[in-house]
Structure 1
Amino acid sequence: MCAATASSMLFGMNTTTDSTRRIEGFEDTVKDFWVSRPRRPHRGRKLAGVAAGIGHRYGIDPAIVRVVFVVLTVFGGVGLAFYLLGWAILPEEGDDVSGLEGLLGKGRSSMSKGFTLALCAALVLLGLASFSASWVDGGTFVGLALVVAGVYLLHRSRGHLRRPAPTGGVATGPAGMTSTGTGGDAGMWGQPVSQAAPTWDPLGADPLGWRLPDATAPTPPPPEPPPPPRRKSKIGFAVTGVALAVGGVGAALAAEGVPWFTPAHVMGLVLAVLGLGMVAGSFLGGGRGLVWLAVPLALVGLTLSAVPLEHVGGGFGELRATPTSADQVQPVYERTAGDVQLDLTGLSGSDSARTTVRSGAGNVTVLLPPDADVDYRCEAAVGNVECLGQEHNGIDTPELRGVDPGTDGEGGPKITLTAKIGAGNVEVRRG
């Protein structure tokens, strides 16, 4: 009993397995999370074991944790920073303290001080970059709030289960009080245990005749309860339906030309719904199939955020136009996604026209009269540009511009043309 009392005095909430204890209050939850932090295991890890440690600690699939990190990286830019933070503050299996605590001299850690310093430097740089260049407006703060709320609720509901076993030696203090240490603390009094048997018997009795229980012997922890059977849940179908609805509404608003709803923003909203669904599934059981939908969408979202695509309205599908006079030429021909083909070979004489032809994703083709005087500008964010003899291809290609008088020199229809594509091909040629 003395051992249990001393352990409670020394460490407050022990790191032994206790499936009956419930955590009360915000401060209690935060302190208990730090005391019983996940340990990064040697087995089952993909990189540093952060996701595997969190999954094992709270009884959820580590694959879901990894997907949450990816979604947070794409959605708000904080996922990678939080992974590095977990690498720094979560102890490795078998260590007394984390790498950061080892750097501060709090105990033994297998992580070298040089690597810990490099990890902290990378963490600071990533944190600053996340808050200065988030591709979703306010996405960094949303991601930060989601992580804090998710960890808090997860520890409140499952923090009393799967608590890591204590590490380190046994410490002793006055009056023979003992406790199990975690790392380099070595008890309240900083002295190692000395379990020496008494050399005399004050009652003069045979010491072998006494069969009293050892008061200092640690009580073995109760066996870890078996994980509950996985329940069938419809949360995956429900979240998928909500994500598709959000994506459909966002795409419709983008097609209508609402400024904020770009393809990257719409993808961010869909990933946010999937991320929240996976967090809810970790509590309610279910939603594992959302991983296979979130991973490819996260890659698409990462691509959309990296490529400088301009927002284009006009809807979806193919657009073909063949005006026969200058007054029939519209100022803009555009599609959010789809091919746009404009045939201006019907212009003749002294016709003068100015137009812009653009598409977010697809192909843009413009046919010009052989004798037209053309002032042109052609560009593509990603793709190939062939504009009256000039050509460029790649990502964020330089703008092609110039003046071409046609086959007969100056004279004929005068056309001012801008042809643009987000992803695809631009072709401007004479018919």
Structure 2
Amino acid sequence: MTIPPEAPPPPTPEPPSPVSEARTRPSGEQLRNLSGLRRTTHASPEGRHIAGVAGGIARHFDIDPLLVRVVLVVSVFFGGAGGIVYVAAWLLVPEESAEDGMVPVGPPARNLLLWIAGGIAAISLLGDAFGDTSVPWFWLAVLAVVALWYANRGKLGRKRGGPPPPPATSTAPARVDVSAAQTRTLPAPWPPGSYDPNAPVAVADRRRPPLLFGRAIAVAAIEVGVLGLVDVAGWASVPISAYPAALLAVFGAFLVLGAFWGRAGGLIFLGLLALAALPLTMIDPSSIETSSNIESHPQSVAVLESSYNVDAGEILLDMSAIDAKTLDGRDLDINSSFGEITVIVPDDATVAVDASVSALGEARVFDETRSDVGGFDLARTHVAGQEGSEPGLADDADLHLTTTADIGAISVFAESDPRAAAFIETVERSTP
């Protein structure tokens, strides 16, 4: 008997090379849906160095992970944009095979918050490129916190409350999967003894969900982002009061809309916050004049007062334009409890100055300077037509000047003194 030879085994087909595999590019809708982002792990092809954010972004947008890491690191030094994106993704984006990130939010809220973080990073990047633009970080942070609270309001309510309500009873016969019932046993949805199936089911009058709250927050975030972009780009000057005004307009419009369709949720409270912040942001500190500051440049002796007094502030009296002949031995008192006194006198006038500091300060009278703790007096006389000054007070002076300060500085300069140039108005001297 002849045994036929065994047939050779069929050749094993070689797996196709990775280069020949057709790779599907993500669609535009998939790219815009940031809720599909997943942070990579150490076992992922993209790798993981810190939190897997760069690898997840690279996989979502189908780009090189090294390029993403370089862009994130470089953008950290430009307004911190890379850090904003990385921290937001670290907190919100879950890892592979996980449903929630470190901050548990639903996919729609996660998509919204990630886009808001990207907008803030873009504004920060542009702000660093165009200079200081007073970006309203406070309002952006408030919108982010409110959006985060809105996305988690259901989970927070379930944590505070007890077990969920029992399912509604139905008269239709339920279809039972016999094969599934034989293979596995599902645990009871409630702890033993916590639910009585025979108890009557109370049907609560459920209120309609706040349909407009999330939409209002999204519109407000976009509006604030647009205002910030216009400001940082230099297209127009956006005052800080424009941000609460814009929020107030958005919340008011959605409240009116909520009266006819849906519910606006907590927009009344947010509108009141914006309304309270509006008058505060409309105050311009630079436009507030301090009434305790005195600055006077009299052109004649007729408008020269006999005394100038402030409790706390600065006094500047420039008498360089007054003709010395019209002074005629005038007495002038200047007093300040806390502040600085600066007086400019004509060169062709003999001026006797008595400078007194009662507590702490400095006195610069013509060419003499003195400073001390505990109080001191400095008496000097500038003689018309001469440089410098003489000690003591001349009785026949054209002007007797008495300056007093509790705490502060006293400066009396002649018109030709270089230190007086910064205080003299460029006007012609008046005639008597």
Q: Which TM bucket (shorter chain)?
A: under 0.3
Taking structure 2 as the reference length, what is the TM-score of the superposition? 0.25
Of structures 1 and 2, the one with the larger relative CO (CA 8 A, separation 6+) is: 1
